[in-house]
C-alpha cells in the first residue's frame, strides 16, 4: 500500500492556523518605538514611565555610549542619533508592515497610546510623518524653499517622526555625516527636495495631531482634564497630540505638563497619583536606615529657634544615623546653638559647627554642607534645612526618603498666606511666575509629587546625586542670583528634576522680616508675625480643652480658673520684666496709666513700659475673650484694657495687697511662678464670699468680675518672690 501523503492535506490547515494567528495580532504589535539615550537622566526615566503607562514597545539606542552629537544631548548636533537609527533600521528594511516611531526621549512624554497613534498616522495616507514647528531651525535661509501651508505649522521638526520601516531606511540611507552634524538639517534638506519628498512619501504633522512641539507654541497648549486622565490640547487646531516635546527653551513647560501626563486624575480628591510607588522604610532596623547629613542654616535673626531644635529632636529617625552640619551666621543665636549642642550634640553621629566668628558667607556655607555629604560615601542623603522652617511632621524625613527622588522638598507655607518654598513657573528672566496650579497645590486642592523649577528652605538630595550629576563643587554661587536660585538653576542645567510634595502636612515657614532683637526674649513679640509658633511656645497645651469646657474650675462664685500659659511663657515674661528692672509703686509715681488708675498701688511694671501692650491686647483677644464669652454667657468683649502689668510680691518689699475693687469689668490674674518652690504664702481672698485661693498654679489664670461684686485682697507672701500678670479688661 502506498503511504498517505499528508503534505497536501495539511497545507490548508497550516494556512488556516497562520491566518488565525495573524488575525489575533493587534495592529499596534507592528509598532516599535526607537529612541536614543546615552545615559539615564530623569527626563529619560519620565519618558520610559509614560511609554510603559501606555504599553509602547520601546528600544533604546546608544545607552552607555559617550555623546558626541553636541554639547548636550538635546542641543545643536544630533548626527549621532541618525547614525544609531540607520544601524537599527537595517534589520527592518524589508518589513513592509513594520511601523517605526523615532523620537527624542529626554524632553518627550507620551499622552496617549499606540492605538490612537497608529490611527492618526494611517489617516495621513503618507509613509513618513515628521513633527511640525512654528519656528524654522537651524538654517533660516531655507525658509523660502518650504512648501506653503494653508492651515498649520510649516517647518519640519526632527524630534519626532513616524513611518514604515522601508521608507525610513531610504530616509537615512544617504547619511554619511559626523556625530556632531545637525540631524534636523539633514532631514530638512531631504524634505525640501521635491523628488526625495515624493519618493519617500514624507509629510508634516501640520496640525499637531500626533506631535506637539512646545517651542513657539506655549500659548496654544492647555491641559484638558478628563474623568480619569489629563490630555494636552492644542487650542489653535483643536487637536489632542499623542507625543509632547519640550524642545528648545520649553523644558520647564514640559515638566509642568509632566505633572499631569500621564497620571490618573481624580476629581473627587484633586489628586494626581504617580506610577512609581514608594520605597517604604517600615520594618528596617535603626542601623539599616540610610545615613543622613542634616545641614542647618541660621543665616539671619530667626524667631523660635528653640522650637526649631525641639522639632529636630522630635524627628522619628535614629540620631546615630544622623550627622549635623550647622552654619550659624548670627551672634544673636550663639548661646542657643551652643546650648543645644551641649545638651544633645553627643546623641548624633557627628557634628560640625561653623559659627559667626568664621564669617562664612551663605553660599559658601551651603556649598560646604553639600560637599560634606559628597565626600562621605556613607552619606546616603543630605537634608538642607533653614532655621525659619517649622517642620512639625516628625515623620518628614522618612516620607521624603520614601519618595525616592534625587531632589525633593516638602511643601511648607507661611501661615495664612500663599507664600511657600516652591515656584510653579519661572518668568522669562528666571524669577518667580505663578503657575496655573500653584494656588491649588498650596491650598491642597491638588495633591501629589510635583516637578517644579524652584525650591528653597528645605529639601532632600540623594548623596549619589551629589557624587554624580551634581558633583560640581559650587552649586550655590551666581553673579546675578541668590544662593537658592543659583542652586536650582545649576540643578536644572544638569537635567536633574526638582520636586515638591504636598501629600502630607509638613509644617510652615516663619516670617522673619520684622523680627526684633532688642528684647531679652524677642519671641514674645511675635504673636502677630508668627501666631502659630507663638501659640505653640506660649499657650498652655491644655488651653484647647479648657475652651471646650474641660479643666475649668470654679474655686469661688463666678471665679473661673483655667490653664493659659506655658512654663516658658511665665518664665520669659518674668525675666523680661526683671531685665527691664524699673519696678515702681503707686505712692511714688503717677498711677495714671493709659487713662486708667490703680485703685491700690503695687510694685509693678506695666506692659506699655516694655512696649508690649499691642501684643498683650492681641493675646487677650485671641485667648481670653473666647473663654470670657463661654464662661459668662451673653457677654461679649473687645478685650480693651487700661491697665495690664506684672506685679511683684516680696516679704520685705510688698508682701500683700489691701482689700479693693478692680477698676474693670473683669480681671485676669495669671500666676507666673510656683508656690512652694519660688515663694511661700500668697494667694487671693474674695472677702464677700469668704473664699480663698491659696495655691495658684503656674500658668493658670483666675478670671473674675471687677468693680462691684468681687471685693478681694492679696494674701501675704511670706518667703521668696511671687509674680502675677494682671489685666483689667473692659468691653
Neighbours of 514 (CB within 10 A): 11
- Contact at 8 Å (CB) between 67 and 80? yes
How deeply is 509 buried, as exposed, middle or buried, from its count of CB atoms within 10 A (0-12, 13-18, 19+)? buried
- With H, G, I as helix, E, B as strand and everything else as coil, classify residue 525: helix
Neighbours of 588 (CB within 10 A): 8
CA distances from 484 to 31, 143, 297, 384, 454 (A): 45, 42, 12, 11, 8
| Closest to 617 measured CA to CA, from 525, 538, 537, 545 | 525
CA distances from 428 to 43, 249, 250, 433 (A): 22, 10, 11, 9
Nine-digit cell string for 84: 544609531
Active site residue 722: yes
Q: CA 157 to CA 334: how far, in whole Å?
A: 59
Q: CA 405 to CA 233: how far, in whole Å?
A: 29
Question: HEC string of 588-630?
Answer: HCCCEECCEECCCCCCEEEHHHHCCHHHHHHHHHHHHHHHHHH
Q: Which of 398, 446, 685, 722 is catalytic?
A: 722
| Closest to 494 measured CA to CA, from 43, 36, 35 | 43
Q: CA 359 to CA 90: how far, in whole Å?
A: 64
How deeply is 707 buried, as exposed, middle or buried, from its count of CB atoms within 10 A (0-12, 13-18, 19+)? middle
| Closest to 264 measured CA to CA, from 226, 290, 233 | 226
CA distances from 632 to 299, 319, 551 (A): 47, 49, 16
Question: HEC string of 636-697?
Answer: CCCCEEEEEEEEEEECCCECCEEEECCCCCEEEEEECCCECCCEEECCEEEHHHCEEECCCC
* Cα Rg of the chain (Å, integer): 36
β-pairing, 322-328 vs 350-354, is parallel
Helices 334-344 and 305-314, packing angle to 10 deg: 20
- For the CA atoms of 88, 92, 96, 101, the dihedral, rounded to the nearest 10 degrees, stands at -30
- Contact at 8 Å (CB) between 667 and 729? yes
Residue spans of alpha helices (H) in 523-603: 531-538, 543-547, 567-580
- Contact at 8 Å (CB) between 722 and 649? yes
Query: Rounded to a whole number, what is the largest CA-CA distance in the chain?
Result: 143
Cis peptide leading into residue 262 (ω within 30°): yes
CA distances from 570 to 563, 609, 661, 697 (A): 12, 18, 25, 11
Beta-bridge mates of residue 640: 730
Catalytic residues: 722
Amino acid at each position: 500500500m502506498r503511504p498517505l501523503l499528508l503534505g497536501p492535506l495539511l497545507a490548508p490547515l497550516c494556512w488556516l492556523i497562520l491566518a488565525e494567528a495573524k488575525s489575533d495580532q493587534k495592529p499596534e504589535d507592528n509598532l516599535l518605538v526607537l529612541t536614543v539615550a546615552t545615559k539615564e537622566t530623569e527626563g529619560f526615566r519620565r519618558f520610559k514611565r509614560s511609554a510603559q503607562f501606555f504599553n509602547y514597545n520601546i528600544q533604546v539606542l546608544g545607552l552607555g555610549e559617550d555623546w558626541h552629537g553636541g554639547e548636550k544631548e538635546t542641543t545643536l548636533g544630533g548626527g549621532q542619533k541618525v547614525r544609531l537609527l540607520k544601524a537599527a533600521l537595517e534589520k527592518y528594511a524589508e518589513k513592509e508592515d513594520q511601523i517605526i516611531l523615532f523620537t527624542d526621549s529626554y524632553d518627550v512624554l507620551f499622552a496617549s497610546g499606540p492605538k490612537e497613534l497608529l490611527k492618526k498616522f494611517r489617516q495621513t495616507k503618507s509613509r513618513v510623518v515628521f513633527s511640525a514647528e512654528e519656528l524654522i531651525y537651524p538654517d533660516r535661509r531655507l525658509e523660502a524653499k518650504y512648501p506653503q501651508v494653508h492651515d498649520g505649522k510649516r517647518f519640519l521638526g526632527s524630534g519626532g517622526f513616524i513611518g514604515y520601516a522601508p521608507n525610513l531606511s531610504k530616509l537615512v540611507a544617504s547619511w554619511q555625516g559626523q556625530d556632531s552634524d545637525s540631524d534636523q538639517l539633514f532631514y530638512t534638506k531631504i524634505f525640501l527636495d521635491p523628488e526625495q519628498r515624493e519618493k519617500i512619501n514624507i509629510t508634516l504633522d501640520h496640525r499637531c495631531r500626533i506631535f506637539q512641539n512646545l517651542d513657539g507654541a506655549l500659548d496654544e497648549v492647555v491641559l484638558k482634564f478628563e474623568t480619569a486622565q489629563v490630555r494636552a490640547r492644542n487650542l489653535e487646531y483643536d487637536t489632542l497630540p499623542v507625543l509632547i516635546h519640550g524642545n528648545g527653551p520649553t523644558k520647564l513647560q514640559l515638566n509642568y505638563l509632566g505633572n499631569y501626563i500621564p497620571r490618573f486624575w481624580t476629581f473627587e480628591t484633586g489628586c494626581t497619583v504617580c506610577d512609581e510607588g514608594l520605597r517604604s522604610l517600615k520594618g528596617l532596623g535603626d542601623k539599616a536606615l540610610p545615613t543622613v547629613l542634616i545641614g542647618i542654616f541660621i543665616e539671619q535673626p530667626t524667631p523660635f529657634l528653640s522650637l526649631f531644635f525641639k522639632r529636630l529632636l522630635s524627628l522619628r529617625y535614629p540620631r546615630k544615623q544622623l550627622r549635623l552640619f550647622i552654619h550659624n551666621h548670627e551672634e544673636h543665636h550663639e548661646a542657643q546653638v551652643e546650648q543645644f549642642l551641649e545638651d544633645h550634640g553627643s546623641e548624633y553621629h557627628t557634628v560640625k559647627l561653623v559659627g559667626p566668628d568664621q564669617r562664612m558667607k551663605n553660599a559658601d556655607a551651603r556649598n560646604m554642607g553639600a560637599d560634606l555629604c559628597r565626600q562621605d560615601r556613607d552619606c546616603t542623603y543630605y537634608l538642607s534645612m533653614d532655621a525659619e522652617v517649622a517642620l512639625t511632621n516628625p515623620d518628614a524625613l522618612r516620607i521624603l526618603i520614601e519618595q525616592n527622588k534625587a531632589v525633593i522638598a516638602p511643601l511648607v507655607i507661611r501661615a495664612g498666606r500663599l507664600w511657600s518654598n516652591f515656584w510653579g513657573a519661572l518668568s522669562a528672566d528666571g524669577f518667580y511666575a505663578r503657575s496655573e496650579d500653584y494656588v491649588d497645590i498650596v491650598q491642597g486642592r491638588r495633591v501629589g509629587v510635583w516637578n517644579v523649577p524652584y525650591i528653597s528652605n528645605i529639601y532632600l538630595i540623594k548623596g549619589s546625586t551629589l557624587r554624580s550629576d551634581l558633583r560640581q563643587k559650587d552649586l550655590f554661587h551666581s553673579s546675578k542670583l541668590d544662593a537658592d536660585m543659583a542652586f536650582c538653576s545649576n540643578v536644572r542645567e544638569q537635567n536633574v528634576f526638582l520636586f515638591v510634595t504636598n501629600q502630607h502636612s509638613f509644617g510652615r515657614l516663619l516670617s522673619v522680616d520684622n523680627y526684633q532683637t532688642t528684647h531679652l526674649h524677642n519671641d514674645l513679640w511675635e504673636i502677630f508675625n508668627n501666631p502659630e509658633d507663638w501659640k505653640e511656645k506660649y499657650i498652655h497645651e491644655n488651653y484647647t480643652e479648657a475652651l471646650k469646657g474641660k479643666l475649668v474650675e470654679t474655686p469661688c462664685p463666678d471665679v473661673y480658673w483655667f490653664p493659659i500659659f506655658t512654663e516658658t511663657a511665665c518664665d520669659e515674661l518674668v525675666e523680661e520684666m526683671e531685665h527691664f528692672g524699673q519696678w515702681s509703686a503707686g505712692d511714688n509715681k503717677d498711677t495714671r496709666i493709659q487713662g486708667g488708675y490703680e485703685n491700690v498701688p503695687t510694685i509693678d511694671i506695666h506692659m506699655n513700659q516694655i512696649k508690649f501692650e499691642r501684643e498683650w491686647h492681641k493675646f487677650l483677644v485671641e485667648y481670653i475673650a473666647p473663654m470670657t464669652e463661654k464662661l459668662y454667657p451673653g457677654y461679649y468683649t473687645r478685650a480693651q484694657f487700661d491697665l495690664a502689668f506684672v506685679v511683684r510680691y516680696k516679704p520685705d518689699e510688698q508682701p500683700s495687697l489691701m482689700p479693693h475693687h478692680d477698676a474693670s469689668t473683669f480681671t485676669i490674674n495669671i500666676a507666673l511662678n510656683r508656690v512652694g518652690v519660688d515663694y511661700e504664702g500668697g494667694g487671693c481672698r474674695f472677702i464677700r464670699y469668704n473664699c480663698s485661693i491659696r495655691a495658684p498654679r503656674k500658668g493658670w489664670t483666675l478670671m473674675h468680675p471687677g468693680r462691684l461684686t468681687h471685693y478681694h485682697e492679696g494674701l501675704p507672701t511670706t518667703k521668696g518672690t511671687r509674680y502675677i500678670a494682671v489685666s483689667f479688661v473692659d468691653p
